Structures are given as C-alpha cells and as structure tokens.
Chains A and B, each alone.
Chain A
Amino acid sequence: MFNIFSSISEKSTLEKMSEIENHHKRSWWTKHSENRLAELEITILSVVKSKFKTWFVPIGSSVGQDDKIWTITLNEESKNTPLVMLHGFAAAIGFWCKNFDEIAKDRPVYAIDLLGFGRSSRPTFAKDCESAEQQWVDALEEWRKQVKLEKFILLGHSFGGYLATSYTMQHPDRVKHLILADPWGFAEKPPNYKPPTFFRIMGVILFPFTYFNPLAAIRAVGPLGPALVRKMRGDIARRYSDSFENTDVITEYIYQCNSQYPSGETAFHSFVKGFGWSKNPMVHRFDMIHESTPITLLYGEHSWIDPSSGFILREQREDFSYVNIDVIQDAGHHLYSDQPEIFNKCVKETCRIADNNEDTKEKVRPVNFLKEQFNESRWKDFIDPSYPQKITKEEIDDIGESENDGEERRDITAH
C-alpha cells in the first residue's frame, strides 16, 4: 500500500506531515493511523482534476501550542475574490472533492480542516461553549492572516456554517459574502415541550449518553470501528459511488478522521444541549451580524435542518441587506454531494453576484427550488395520460368553452 502511495508525487507532503504531526502514530486500540489518513485523503483528492496544493498552515499558539491547520488551495492565481470552505461536524476537506473542480474554475478556493478535526492539530479547547467558539474564530482569523487573505467569501456547511456565522459576526470586514449550506445550530430548542410519558422515560434512560462525545462509540469499539461506520453511514459512501469504485474509502476516511483524540468533537459537544440542540442558537444573535454582510442560505429538500430560522433571518434583514434562500431539490443534509452539479452552480452564481457587488437588498429573490430537471416536478413524467378518460362529456364541453377555442373542442369531440 505504501508503495502505491509513495509513487504519487505528493511524497514530500507526507514527509513534511510526518515530521510535524504525530510521527506515524498508531493507536493500539482503534485502527487509527496518521499515514493511512493521509493516504486515504490523497486517494479521495485524486478525483479532483485541477491542480491543487495541500499544506499545513501554522497558526501559532492561539488554542494549543504550535497548531497547524491542514489547507487545500486551488486556482490561487485567479484575481477574483477567494472562497473559503468550512466543512461540517465529523467531516474533512475530502468531502468537498466533487465540488472543488467546478467552483475553482472562477476563483481561488481554500478549504480547511477545522481545528480539532480531520488532519489539523487537535488541541484541547475551552470547556464552555462561548470560549470554545471564540477559540475557533481566533484560529480561523489567525489562519486568514497566515494565508494573507484580505476579503473572501465564506462558505460553511452544517457545523461549519455555525462557525462561519460566528466568524462573520466578529470580522465583518473580512467576509464579502456568507454562504451557509444547511447550517446547524440556528434554531432554538422548542420551549415548553412536554413530551408524553414514554419519551420522558426514554429521556431519562438516554440522559447518561449525552455525557459521551457524539462519536465515542466509534472509538470505543476499537478495531470494529471502520465496520461500524460502514454500517451506519453507508449512505455517505453511496453519494460518492460515482467517483470511487471502492466506496469503503469514504467510510474509512470518516473513521480515520474521527478515531483520533476527539478535541474538536469534545468542543462541539459543549455546544450541544440535550439531543442535538444548540446551547447558544444563532437565531438569538442575528442582530450581531453586520448590516452590510450579504448572506445566501442553501437548504436540502429532505434535510432535517429546519429552514425556518433562515426565514427569520431574511425577515429581520430584508430592510437593509441581502439574504437569499435556495432549496436544493432531492438533496439531504449533505447537499454538496447529493446534488453536486446544482450545488456548484449555485455557489458559483452566488460568488459571481458577490464579485459584481450585486448582492444588495434590491436583488433579493423569492425562494428558489433548484432542480435537476427544470420542469415542474421530477415526477411529472409519470402521470398517466390515459387517466382523464373518466371525465364526462359535459365536463369536456365545459373545458372547451372555458378555453374559448372552437377548434380545440372539435378535436375533443372527434375523439
């Protein structure tokens, strides 16, 4: 395996990586291995056709000591506004592999493994959610300084969307446009929710589990971890099945990313209240987003993320700013891999608007349903043409009259 790997020209990356990070660290219980992760990532990124560069960006000691952020850059030469992409919880840069090529055609694209996730350093974050959030924002700001970006378009998916929003609140002058793809942590836990007895009992039973990290089970089962991920999240692998022959690459990548010391995961866990609700939901902090920042929200049609907070945001800002909401049809939470073409097109279009400074409040559009086929509905082709034969003759006459078209009516009666 290693031979195949070293034959790829990225050897230098590995050497550099192994110098700095964890030194071929292998865990005795979990099947985690830094080398394997790097190898998998390269396999996944081999899908990307355009030229790219991956490297560690040192961000100093803002959280831990000498933290590094794993970064991928594409099309650095372009003069357009760069785009920075933040992945969701338990994900990493490899997940964007179906999007890089298309989006990077117009502009420089940067994607990072969030601090505490993927291949970035895993420092211990603060215990309380406000400080941890601040640490993440600081790390991102430090990273921005290191890669020397002045102003960029920020895209965040899921948990990345939460952090992107938080970053935008504190550094509005850096963010030209904020794109949130199915952002987590916006809605608030519904108050006065009085569940029936069964749910209360279950809540009590499950309560101890809320003390564990969300993905603790993956690490706890040790060598069975990859199989567990394959069993539980086979759907993610299936989303990439057109790119890889062996879809186990994706599940193993997820496993390798999350079987290490769970620093980002623990910090994320401190953000969560109950079963998946945000402790400090964004819906209360919308007023902290600077007035001038234009926002685009993308939602998946089948996603469990509740888009209502997006509408609240739009309502609040409709007088002074651009907030656009798009819904991608037939996509779940992982919209960028469910409908990569639509997602790419949508992001590119948004970036183009941002480049041309067209993202002003006058340009706010109604909600779009973005579809694969641009007809009424993808089920439209399946309507039985023979069905309306049941209609009575009078009704057909009625229709003929309502159309006010004699010829048409003659046609019907002829039939």
Chain B
Amino acid sequence: MRRYDSLIIAAAIVVLGGLLSLVLADYRLRLLNVSVISAIAVIGFNFAFGLAGLISLGHAAFVGLGAYTLAILTTALGWSPWLAIPVAILVTTVFAGMIGYPLLRLRGHYLALATLGLNVSFTIVVTNWITLTGGTNGISGIPELRLGGFAFNDERRFLWLGLVLLALCAAFAITLQRSRHGRAMMAVRDDETAARMTGIDVTRVKITALCLSAAFAALSGTLFAAHVRFVAPEDFNYAHSIIYLAMLIVGGEGAVAGAVIGAALLTFLPEWLRFLGDAYLAFFGLMLLAILVFLPTGLVGLTGRLRRLGWGAKVERTP
C-alpha cells in the first residue's frame, strides 16, 4: 500500500485543489496559490531539515535566489519564463552545492547561525545591489506564464498550474524519500557515525539534501515571481525562513504530507484568526512553542501516534 502513497498524495492534491479552485472566491484562490507555492518550498526544506537534520534558518534565501534569477532573466534579458525557470533552479542548486561544501561541516546551532547570517547577507545584497535588483523597489513587470494561447494570468488558472507542479514535486519527494537516498538522509540525521559505518558518504548525502532543498526552493521562488509578477527583498528575508521552518514543524517534519498541510494551514491561519488582529503573531509563536513541546511530530504525527497506540494494543494481546 505504501508503494502507491506518492500517487495517492499527488492525486489528492490535484483533486482537492481542483475542487477548491471551482468553488472558492478570488481572494481565497490567491491564498491557495500562496499555499501551493510555499508547499513546494517546504517539501524541499523537508529534505534538508526533516530528513537530513540540517538546521537551516536560511531557506528563504534559496527561494529568493530562484525568484530574482527568474525576474532578472525575464525582465533585463527578455528571456522566456519557461527557459528562465530551469536556469534559475540550476543557478540556485549550484550555489547551494558551492556553499554546502564549507558550510555543512558545521552542526547544530553553528549551522543555524551560519545559515541565518547567509539569509541576512542575501537580503542586504539584494537591497543594495540596485543596478541588478532594483533595491527596495524590487523588480516589476515579470511576464506571465503562458502555454500557447493559454495564459496563466488569473488566480484560478495559475492554481491549476501550481497544483500540477506541486503534485509532481510531492510524488517525486515521496519516491525519493522511500528510496535508498531518503533512507541515507534519515540515517545521517539519526546517527552520523553509524551511517558512515554502513558505507554512507555523510558529506555527500548532506550536500545532496541541501541541493535538493535549494532546487525545490528555487522552483517555488520562480513560481512566486511568476504569480505576483514582482519581487522585492522583504519577501525573502529570514523571517520567511522561520515561517518555512514553522510550516514543516506544524505539519510534521519528515513527511511530505506534513509539509503540504503545514504550508496550507499557516497560509490560511492568519485569515481564520483575523479577529486576533495584531495579536496573531504572538499567538503564532505560542502555537509553535506548544507544538514543539506537546506534539513534536506535528499534525501528521498525530495519525502515527494513534496507529502506534493500536499497534501497541495488538502486541499486548499476543504475548
């Protein structure tokens, strides 16, 4: 049954999202688009943090690098977005690989601080390299995505594209996670020394995880740029890295479904809790803290816990 999990989740994303796209009003569709775009970034983050255990507080910098690469290639150089997307992903992945070699020798809070510094540095550079990035004014006029005569230029149409891409990403991520590569990443997080002792090249696995997370982040960034058709530095500051982290923790780290659920939930939550007003972020922090303490495996972990309770009961019956 586990074998078809990737297909089930992909189908669920397309069907559920497709149904929602038919009934929701435009503003909600916009939020759904934001959820889908974030979910792709969070699925990527799950490789680095959820599987390989790399505490990164700089994921938004990868999203931003993808978004800015697309924005610059399409506006300044007039490239087609369809060509700019793979190039942006490639640029970001290569960048992640290059910084990964020195950076991933660090662990725990050292890695957290280094990636935080990286994200802050990214924001400073895009804010101040005005000739390339437009500084705080950002880059506008990013062309819309179109396929033949069909332009993805309203929320509903863009959502269809986003859902298909998200479904593909989710299916790919689940397949990878259940393969030797995914197991190697989890082994590295659980016990690096024991992982080495089963022939795993720990450095390579970590860099692979970081590159995968960067590639997904870049795809998410390019979609962000093509959706809003505008990029500015504050969309990729480290506060966003913390939001990606929170999405994964709330949904359930280590699980692709958790990444998607967390991304959707934390995108809609401010809407549902609008009555809290300015208190929302304070509530958000408290909720995150409560989940860390009481539900460390996130919402997806709830089902696992229930299943395990059932399993435990069975064992007691057959001593």
Partners in one complex: no
